[in-house]
Structure 1
Amino acid sequence: MASEDVKTSEAAVSTIVNLAEEAKIAREGVKAPGYAILTICKSLVAGGVAGGVSRTAVAPLERLKILLQVQNPHSIKYNGTVQGLKYIWQTEGLRGLFKGNGTNCARIVPNSAVKFFSYEQASKGILWLHRQQSGNADAELTPLLRLGAGATAGIIAMSATYPMDMVRGRITVQTDKSPYQYRGMIHALSTILREEGPRALYKGWLPSVIGVIPYVGLNFAVYESLKEWLVKARPFGLVQDSELSVTTRLGCGAVAGTIGQTVAYPLDVIRRRMQMVGWNNASSIVTGDGRGKVPLQYNGMIDTFRKTVRHEGFGALYKGLVPNSVKVVPSISIAFVTYEVVKDILGVEMRISD
């Protein structure tokens, strides 16, 4: 009798275990696709918020940088960071400091969302290939592989939102005294399409692709590698455990941003000047009084580079570098930290450092 009871109990336990396993499998099967989609959406939201917050925080410096990049050397209005910001404030007020920021956020939110998400997906794919080729299931991404993942993410995000960057550049350059005004993002897009054709929306795309490889690639590679080094090496007692403080992350982001923007900056100047080609009022808008001539008739990236150096010297390739340097450190730092904080708030397990 006792053995029958034992057998009955074992059978009952086995049945319960089997039912529990089946229920778990069924639950996961139903939940997995929706859960994956939700995780992707949360990751995109985190990236978008990171981009919007970081760019708005440094919008005045972003506008000044672009004005310096395309400024007519024969009619200087913006002479340095402090003077330039004061001049914008005096002539255009608070709205002038944030001109083009709405269009910039409309561009940077999807750009940042796609960039961060693409980096995570590219990192996973590259890590899988690396482990398959090396035969080491525990292999980690090297700085060079992170550079590749970051470059891939940058090219995808930049290409997807490039027309918005083109429009943002032109809206940012115009002032209240400009003879012709783009009334907003939609008006600018329709005007450029009507007057210059669809290809005009991708002027400067090639130097952007070339520039985004070291810029975004180095940003991600330096940021992730520096964090990994701090966690493993724990130099100077900076890290007590595997979780880095917000201040430390800001420092990592600042180093990453400084290195990336310094390497890629000349291509950003070339890109911005190419975007002004074909805009009849560009010279007037930049100089404010129509005096002097900017060599705006560029024919491709090489021609733009050659004419810029010939007419204005090699230093012209770094016009606006100071306000950009002041801007890029908090911008990149805030973007990385905001991204990780928002993902923590939304409860996303996957992080860029994973």
Structure 2
Amino acid sequence: MSAGGGRLKDEGTRTQVIIAGGIAGLVSRFCIAPLDVVKIRLQLQINSPWDAVPHPHHGPVYRGTIPTMRAIVREEGWTALWKGNTPAELLYVCYGGIQFTTYRSTTQLLSRLPRRLPPSVESFISGATAGGIATATTFPLDLLRTRFAAQGNRRIYASLISAIQDITTHEGPAGFFRGYSAAVTQVVPYMGLFFATYETLRVPLAQIDLPFGSRDAAAGVMASVLAKTSVFPLDLVRKRLQVQGPTRQKYVHPNIPEYHGILRTILTILQTKGLRGLYNGLTVSLFKAAPASAITMWTYEMALRVMKETTSGELLP
């Protein structure tokens, strides 16, 4: 990551960045998997707790993060909190490696411009580019993660391989990219805001003595909360679009409407649930995003530092 003040710090080699990014994604995903499942369930929920007339036959009605987690464990067992973990682990490892590598390369290219851009602008551009490329490359894994997490006791896909085969057979290659436009529309401003805020906060936080080298984690938490809240409706739209297709009525929430496109999906939600409907699952999303970003940034910086120390044979300050 580029430091503030317009100077590009030593980021290690491309290989070190890829490895550190992959490790960061792997560790982060393992830690926040249950919250991810809860978030997806709440985002796909049509019958909200505040509805005047509940419809229990249309699937469970979840109320809050902890109650939702308890309901999933009670009805589906502890392992249900890790549904979709295999494609998600692959997603996070690949996404992390691609994201940090692209961020590093873009930052280095911007640093060679005849006239340097402000550090926050450089970070925004690099972050947006990194997020867009990483999302485009790994989107099929994101879709598979969502569909597995949306399964209740009724198994739609028996395994990752069978899911790939089933989607290929019944939906074609385009089936792996349902919700793609919403994902890119969301992730470009999200990652731009995240990295710009992260890099800005690292400078003042560097002056504070926090335990376990947690300055990067603290900056990651604050940057994530701001960026996630700003673009959350698009994340919800992405999830709704990802479960469209022939299996739409087979998930734990079988009453998910048929949606077409970003704008029409947003308008449908606004018309049926109001503005509040676009923020289903925001609380747990922040609970998930904050520690995920903190763990990701802390792990990335620590892994990169260890590799650089090992290579140089000397302890960095």
Cα deviation code 1:160-198 (max 9, x no counterpart): 00011111110110022x2x4212222111111110111
Cα deviation code 1:324-352 (max 9, x no counterpart): 111111100100010011111112789xx
Select which of 219, 223, 233 maps to 1:256. 223
Q: Compute the TM-score of the two structures, normalised by the length of structure 1.
A: 0.77
Amino acid at match of 2:96: S
Moved over 4 A (4+): none
Task: Using the TM superposition, give the Cα deviation of residue 284 of structure 1 relative to its aligned residue in structure 2, in angstroms.
Answer: 3.7
- Secondary structure of the equivalent of 2:293? helix
Is the CA contact (8 Å cut-off) linking 2:102 and 2:129 kept in structure 1?
yes
Is the CA contact (8 Å cut-off) linking 1:63 and 1:98 kept in structure 2?
yes
List runs of 5+ in structure 2 lacking aligned partners.
1-11, 48-54, 313-317
Where does 1:179-194 land on structure 2 (aligned, <5 Å)? 180-194=155-169
Q: Hey, what does 1:151 align to over in structure 2?
A: 128
For structure 1, which segment, 258-267 or 219-228, has the greater mean C-alpha deviation from structure 2 after superposition? 219-228
Is the CA contact (8 Å cut-off) linking 1:48 and 1:110 kept in structure 2?
yes
Query: Is 1:163 aligned with 2:137?
Result: no
Counterparts of 1:174 and 1:252, CA distance in 2:
35
- Secondary structure of the equivalent of 2:182? helix
Query: Is 1:104 aligned with 2:88?
Result: yes
Amino acid at match of 1:341: M
Q: Hey, what does 1:335 align to over in structure 2?
A: 296
Q: Hey, what does 2:98 align to over in structure 1?
A: 114
Q: Hey, what does 2:249 align to over in structure 1?
A: 283
- Secondary structure of the equivalent of 1:72? coil
Amino acid at match of 1:48: G
Is the CA contact (8 Å cut-off) linking 2:156 and 2:250 kept in structure 1?
no
Q: Hey, what does 2:185 align to over in structure 1?
A: 210
Q: Compute the TM-score of the two structures, normalised by the length of structure 2.
A: 0.86
CA-atom RMSD in angstroms: 2.1
- Secondary structure of the equivalent of 2:246? coil
Is the CA contact (8 Å cut-off) linking 1:72 and 1:286 kept in structure 2?
no
Select which of 111, 121, 124 maps to 1:127. 111
Counterparts of 1:41 and 1:230, CA distance in 2:
28
Counterparts of 2:161 and 2:193, CA distance in 1:
33
Is the CA contact (8 Å cut-off) linking 1:71 and 1:286 kept in structure 2?
no
Is the CA contact (8 Å cut-off) linking 1:44 and 1:117 kept in structure 2?
yes
Counterparts of 1:125 and 1:229, CA distance in 2:
26
Amino acid at match of 2:256: V
Is the CA contact (8 Å cut-off) linking 1:47 and 1:116 kept in structure 2?
yes
Counterparts of 1:260 and 1:300, CA distance in 2:
23
Counterparts of 1:99 and 1:298, CA distance in 2:
24
List runs of 5+ in structure 1 lacking aligned partners.
1-37
Cα deviation code 1:20-48 (max 9, x no counterpart): xxxxxxxxxxxxxxxxxx93222111101
For structure 1, which segment, 67-76 or 109-118, has the greater mean C-alpha deviation from structure 2 after superposition? 67-76
Counterparts of 2:68 and 2:185, CA distance in 1:
29
Counterparts of 1:294 and 1:54, CA distance in 2:
30
Identity %: 31
Query: Is 1:61 aligned with 2:38?
Result: no
Counterparts of 1:99 and 1:59, CA distance in 2:
8
Select which of 13, 17, 29 maps to 1:39. 13
Cα deviation code 1:244-283 (max 9, x no counterpart): 9622221111101101110111000001101111133x33
Counterparts of 1:314 and 1:217, CA distance in 2:
25
Counterparts of 1:279 and 1:40, CA distance in 2:
42
Is the CA contact (8 Å cut-off) linking 2:214 and 2:298 kept in structure 1?
no
Query: Is 1:48 aligned with 2:13?
Result: no
Q: Hey, what does 1:12 align to over in structure 2?
A: none
Amino acid at match of 1:158: T
- Secondary structure of the equivalent of 1:347? helix
Select which of 62, 65, 69 maps to 1:81. 65
Task: Using the TM superposition, give the Cα deviation of residue 77 of structure 1 relative to its aligned residue in structure 2, in angstroms.
Answer: 2.7
For structure 1, which segment, 152-161 or 141-150, has the greater mean C-alpha deviation from structure 2 after superposition? 141-150
Task: Using the TM superposition, give the Cα deviation of residue 239 of structure 1 relative to its aligned residue in structure 2, in angstroms.
Answer: 5.3
Where does 1:298-309 land on structure 2 (aligned, <5 Å)? 298-309=259-270
Counterparts of 1:239 and 1:326, CA distance in 2:
25
